[in-house]
C-alpha cells in the first residue's frame, strides 16, 4: 500500500456538510497485527476459534466494568446532532464515519445480546449478531476514529464515541484481531521503554548530540541529563522529541527553560516515553502497565516532581489517568501537582520572572495555534477551568509578537483533531489521515490568506508528525508546524540574570 492513490479533498467554500457517500472509505484499514505483536501483550496471536461468542463475552465483561459504555449504548436517541461533527465524516462523506453510525456498529451487537428489545425484535431496533461482515466493519471503522471526543461535546448526553471505539478495539484484541501499529509499539515499550525502541545508549548519544548543537548555536552549555539520580524533576516526554522535526526543537526549548530557571532535571531511559498507546487500544491493563514504568522510574531516580513534555494523548493519560493508574504520589513533593505539564512550568516562570523572553526573536513568524484534541477535551492545565486553552496561548504570546486565532468553531473545546490521533498515525492509513485533516487545513488556509499566518504551533507529538506529513497535500510547507517550546527556545534569554 505504499503508493495509495487518492485525491486530496478540496476546501469547501461554505463549509457545508458533504453528501453521504456510502462505502467511501470501506477500503481503509490498518495493517493487522501479527502473532508476534499480539502475544507479548497477552492477546491471542490470531483470530480465535469461536470468536463470535468470545466477542460477546468480552463485551459483557466491559459492560460490567465501565459505566460509560453501558450508559452510552443505552442512551442514544438518534437525534443526529453529532452527525456533522467528526472530521473523518467531513473529510470523507462516508456515513459510517458519523459518530452515531460508528457507535451503532457496536450498539447492534449490544442490543442483540444485552437488551430485551434486541432479543425479541432484533429487526426493529437494529440488533445484529456478530459475523464476519460485522467484524470487518468494526476493524475498518473503529480504526477511522481518532478518539478525539469532539462528538461528545455536542451530544446532548455527552456520548463519547472514543469510549465506544476503545471498547471495540479491546474486544477485537481479545479475539486476536489487533492493529499492527499500536500493538507493535506497545510491545516495544514493555521491553525498551519507548515507542521508537530507542535503547539507553542510543538515547544517551542523541542527548549528547543535542548538547553539542545548543553549545554551537547559542554558546551556552545547556545539559540534557539522562538517568540522573537525585534530580528534582523527572521529565517524561514523547520519544519523537528525541529526534523528529519539529519535536526536537521543543525538547531543546524545555532544556533551555530548565537551564535558565536553575531546575535540576533528568530524563529516564526506563520511562522514556510519555505517550501511552494502551489508551488507543482501550486496554486498562496495558495502560496500567505502561504508566507504572513512570512510577518505577520516579522511585528509582528519587525525584521530587514529574513533568510531561508536549504531547496530547500523553497529557490526557497523565492528567486524567496517571493518579488512578500509577498513584498515589505521596513520595513526591506535595507542593506541586502530579504530574505537571511543561507549559504550566514555563508559564509560571514567565509570570514570576524566572525566565525572560524576547519575542522579537520570532519576528519572522506570524503564529496561530492548533488546540490538540486530547489536551482540549481530555485534560486541563493550571488551576482554572479551561486553563488548557489559556496557558499555551499565554506562553505563545510571550514568545512571539504576532498571533492570530483560527475560526472559533475549530478551536478550544471545538477543536478538530489533526487527523492522525488515536493510533492512526501510520502510513497504511495515509488516505484517511489526509482526508481527516480537511477541517483543520481549511481553518488554517483562512488565517494564512487573510492574516498572513506563517506558522502553526502545536503541543502534541502526533499533531506535529501528522501535520508535517499531510500539510504538503494541501499546498502548505511542512515546516509551517512548530513546537510551542521551539518558540520559547528561540525567545528565551540565556545566561546570567540581571
Q: What part of residues 257-286 is at the interface with ligand SF4 (CB under 6 A)? A: none
| Minimum separation from the CB atom of position 404 to other proteins (A) | 23
Q: Is the dihedral of CA 150, 156, 158, 162 positive or negative?
A: negative
Binding residue (CB under 8 A) for other proteins from 29, 163, 170, 424: 163
| Positions 70 through 109 that interact with ligand SF4 (CB under 6 A) | 76-82, 85-86, 88, 99-100, 102
CB 131 within 8 A of CB 138: no
- The smaller minimum CB distance to ligand SF4, of residues 77 and 384, is found at 77
Name the binder of 17 from other proteins, ligand SF4, none, CB < 5-8 A by kind: other proteins
Please spell the DSSP secondary structure of 11-51, one letter per residue: PPTT-PPPPP-TTTTTT--PPBPPHHHHGGGTS-SSPPTTH
CB 149 within 8 A of CB 8: no
Please spell the DSSP secondary structure of 220-235, one letter per residue: ------BS-TT-SEEE
- Does position 134 interact with other proteins (CB under 8 A)? The reply is no
The one segment of 127-135, 149-157, 332-340, 452-460 that binds ligand SF4 by CB under 6 A:
149-157
CB 308 within 8 A of CB 318: yes
CB 347 within 8 A of CB 353: no
Name the binder of 116 from ligand SF4, other proteins, none, CB < 5-8 A by kind: other proteins
Q: Write each residue from 265 to 304 as x if it is in contact with other proteins (CB under 8 A), else as -, in one continuous string.
A: -------------------xx--x---x--xx--xx----
Strands 305-308 and 455-458: unpaired
CA 127-131-133 angle, 5° bins? 95
Binding residue (CB under 6 A) for ligand SF4 from 24, 62, 127, 162: 162
The one segment of 27-35, 96-104, 174-182, 457-465 that binds other proteins by CB under 8 A:
96-104
Closest CA to 256 of 230, 226, 220, 304: 220
CB 458 within 8 A of CB 31: no
| Minimum separation from the CB atom of position 159 to other proteins (A) | 7
Name the binder of 148 from ligand SF4, other proteins, none, CB < 5-8 A by kind: ligand SF4
- Does position 75 interact with other proteins (CB under 8 A)? The reply is yes
Binding residue (CB under 8 A) for other proteins from 155, 222, 342, 460: 155
Name the binder of 124 from ligand SF4, other proteins, none, CB < 5-8 A by kind: other proteins
Rounded Cα–Cα distance for residues 226 and 485 (Å): 20
3-state secondary structure of 83: coil
| Positions 101 through 130 that interact with other proteins (CB under 8 A) | 101, 104, 115-117, 123-126
Rounded Cα–Cα distance for residues 165 and 122 (Å): 23
Name the binder of 370 from ligand SF4, other proteins, none, CB < 5-8 A by kind: none
Rounded Cα–Cα distance for residues 415 and 405 (Å): 12
- Does position 41 interact with other proteins (CB under 8 A)? The reply is no
| Minimum separation from the CB atom of position 431 to ligand SF4 (A) | 15
Scan for cell 456498529, then name that residue: 105
Binding residue (CB under 8 A) for other proteins from 86, 98, 430, 432: 98
- The smaller minimum CB distance to ligand SF4, of residues 174 and 433, is found at 433
Please spell the DSSP secondary structure of 241-268, one letter per residue: GGTSTTHHHHHHHHHHHHHHHT--EEB-
Please count the residues of this chain forming the interface with other proteins, following the rule CB under 8 A: 78
Taking 3-state DSSP, the helix, strand and coil percentages for the chain, each rounded to the nearest 5, stand at: 55, 5, 40
Name the binder of 170 from ligand SF4, other proteins, none, CB < 5-8 A by kind: none
Residues that bind ligand SF4 (CB under 6 A): 76-82, 85-86, 88, 99-100, 102, 145-151, 155-157, 159, 161-162, 417
Amino acid at each position: 500500500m505504499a503508493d495509495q492513490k487518492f485525491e486530496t479533498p478540496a476546501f469547501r467554500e461554505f463549509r457545508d456538510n458533504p453528501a453521504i457517500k456510502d462505502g467511501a472509505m470501506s477500503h481503509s484499514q490498518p495493517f493487522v497485527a501479527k502473532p508476534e505483536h499480539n502475544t507479548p501483550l497477552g492477546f491471542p496471536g490470531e483470530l480465535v476459534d469461536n470468536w463470535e461468542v468470545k466477542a460477546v463475552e468480552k463485551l459483557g465483561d466491559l459492560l460490567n466494568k465501565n459505566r460509560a459504555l453501558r450508559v452510552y449504548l443505552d442512551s442514544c436517541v438518534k437525534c443526529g446532532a453529532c452527525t456533522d461533527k467528526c472530521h473523518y465524516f467531513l473529510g470523507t462523506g462516508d456515513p459510517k464515519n458519523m459518530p452515531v453510525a460508528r457507535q451503532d456498529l457496536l450498539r447492534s451487537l449490544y442490543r442483540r445480546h444485552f437488551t430485551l428489545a434486541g432479543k425479541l425484535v432484533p429487526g426493529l431496533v437494529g440488533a445484529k449478531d456478530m459475523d464476519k461482515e460485522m467484524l470487518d466493519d468494526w476493524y475498518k471503522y473503529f480504526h477511522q476514529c481518532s478518539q478525539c471526543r469532539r462528538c461528545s461535546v455536542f451530544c446532548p448526553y455527552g456520548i463519547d464515541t472514543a469510549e465506544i471505539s476503545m471498547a471495540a478495539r479491546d474486544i477485537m484484541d481479545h479475539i486476536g484481531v489487533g492493529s499492527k501499529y499500536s500493538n507493535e509499539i506497545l510491545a516495544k515499550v514493555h521491553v525498551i521503554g519507548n515507542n521508537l525502541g530507542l535503547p539507553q545508549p542510543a538515547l544517551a548519544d542523541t542527548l549528547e548530540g543535542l548538547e553539542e548543537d545548543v553549545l554551537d548555536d547559542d554558546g551556552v552549555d545547556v545539559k540534557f541529563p539522562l538517568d540522573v539520580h537525585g534530580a528534582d524533576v523527572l521529565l517524561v516526554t514523547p520519544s519523537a522529541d528525541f529526534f523528529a522535526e519539529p519535536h526536537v526543537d521543543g525538547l531543546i526549548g524545555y532544556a533551555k527553560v530548565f537551564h535558565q530557571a536553575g531546575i535540576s532535571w533528568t530524563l529516564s531511559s526506563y520511562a522514556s516515553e510519555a505517550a501511552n498507546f494502551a489508551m488507543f487500544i482501550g486496554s486498562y491493563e496495558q495502560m496500567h502497565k505502561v504508566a507504572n514504568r513512570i512510577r518505577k522510574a520516579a522511585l528509582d531516580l528519587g525525584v521530587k516532581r514529574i513533568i510531561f513534555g508536549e504531547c496530547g494523548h500523553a497529557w490526557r493519560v497523565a492528567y486524567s489517568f496517571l493518579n488512578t493508574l500509577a498513584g498515589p504520589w505521596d513520595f513526591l513533593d506535595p507542593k506541586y501537582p502530579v504530574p505537571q505539564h511543561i507549559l504550566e512550568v514555563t508559564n509560571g516562570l514567565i509570570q514570576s520572572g524566572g525566565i525572560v523572553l524576547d519575542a522579537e526573536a520570532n519576528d519572522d513568524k506570524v503564529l496561530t495555534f492548533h488546540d490538540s484534541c486530547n489536551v482540549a477535551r481530555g485534560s486541563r492545565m493550571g488551576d482554572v477551568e479551561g486553563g488548557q486553552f489559556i496557558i499555551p496561548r499565554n506562553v505563545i504570546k510571550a514568545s512571539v509578537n504576532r498571533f492570530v486565532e483560527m475560526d472559533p468553531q475549530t478551536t478550544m473545546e471545538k477543536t478538530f483533531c489533526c487527523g492522525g490521533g488515536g493510533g492512526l498515525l501510520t502510513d497504511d492509513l495515509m488516505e484517511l489521515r489526509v482526508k481527516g485533516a480537511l477541517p483543520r487545513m481549511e481553518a488554517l488556509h483562512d488565517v494564512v490568506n487573510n492574516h498572513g499566518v506563517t506558522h502553526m504551533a502545536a503541543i502534541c507529538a502526533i499533531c506535529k508528525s501528522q501535520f508535517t506529513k499531510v500539510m504538503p497535500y494541501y499546498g502548505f510547507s511542512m515546516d509551517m508546524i512548530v513546537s510551542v517550546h521551539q518558540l520559547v527556545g528561540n525567545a528565551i534569554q540565556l545566561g546570567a540574570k540581571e
